[in-house]
Amino acid sequence: MRRRTLGAVLSVGVTLGVLAGPAAADPPPSSGAVQRFIVTDSFGILADFQNGYWVFANITREGFCDWLAGGEVGPPPVFEPNFVQEVDTGSAIVIVFKSGVVPIALHAMTPPPVHPCDGSDPDPWATGEASAVINDNDADVSGTRTNSFGEHGHGKVHEEATGDAWHYSWHARLQINRDGDFRVVNEVFTLRKMGV
């Protein structure tokens, strides 16, 4: 089986990463340069410093931290498979990664908030569902162009203590230029109580 990895670190300070692992099977033959395939062990972990939460998407905090502590042996315990489209332009690999509606959990950051396992409350503040799209115009960082990449997602969570509903969304756009310099173009996390 051919293994493909999609890794996008969406921000040095704000996002630990959105990871996708091996496809469920070899990508099917496709005409031209476009390939579409399903990844079966993708998940996301975002550090939302604006609102003070680690966000676990398509994996629980416990599942992720146990998997990490165990040496990342075997596939991570994710909930849902996700879809990837890859286009080889001849000078760069362009990727669009789409999640379906997947479970998310917001865990309050605890000092020091530098790691999602050691720096987060074990019990979630809120849980719910969200979907996300990742775009990367040069996924292999070929150096032939400015690599522009990022993610946007949205969903709804319910506060565990009260049951109150909250709208949760995020947007990040980042770049790596031809010299390898990294910059955050835009980053916004929004948490808004519904019905107010």
Q: Is 93 domain-assigned?
A: yes
Provide the pLDDT confidence category of residue 195 given band limits of 50, 70 and 90.
confident
Which domain does 138 fall in, by range?
6-193
Poorest-pLDDT segment among 7-11, 136-140, 154-158: 7-11
Q: Is 1 domain-assigned?
A: no
Report how far residue 146's alpha carbon sits from residue 177's, in angstroms, rounded to the nearest whole number. 4
Poorest-pLDDT segment among 13-22, 23-32, 40-49, 168-177: 13-22
Q: Give the DSSP letter of residue 118.
A: T
Q: For position 90, what pLDDT does the model report?
A: 85
pTM metric for this prediction: 0.83
Q: Is 158 domain-assigned?
A: yes
pLDDT digits 0-9 by tens, 70-119: 999 999 999 999 999 999 888 889 999 999 999 999 999 999 889 999 99
Report how far residue 196's alpha carbon sits from residue 13's, in angstroms, rounded to the nearest whole number. 31
Q: For position 32, what pLDDT does the model report?
A: 52
Share of the chain above pLDDT 70, in %: 84
Report how far residue 149's alpha carbon sits from residue 173's, in angstroms, rounded to the nearest whole number. 6
**Both structure tokens of 163:** 């049951």
Q: Is 18 domain-assigned?
A: yes
Give the number of domains in the chain. 1
| Cβ count within 10 A of residue 6 | 20
Provide the pLDDT confidence category of residue 33 given band limits of 50, 70 and 90.
confident
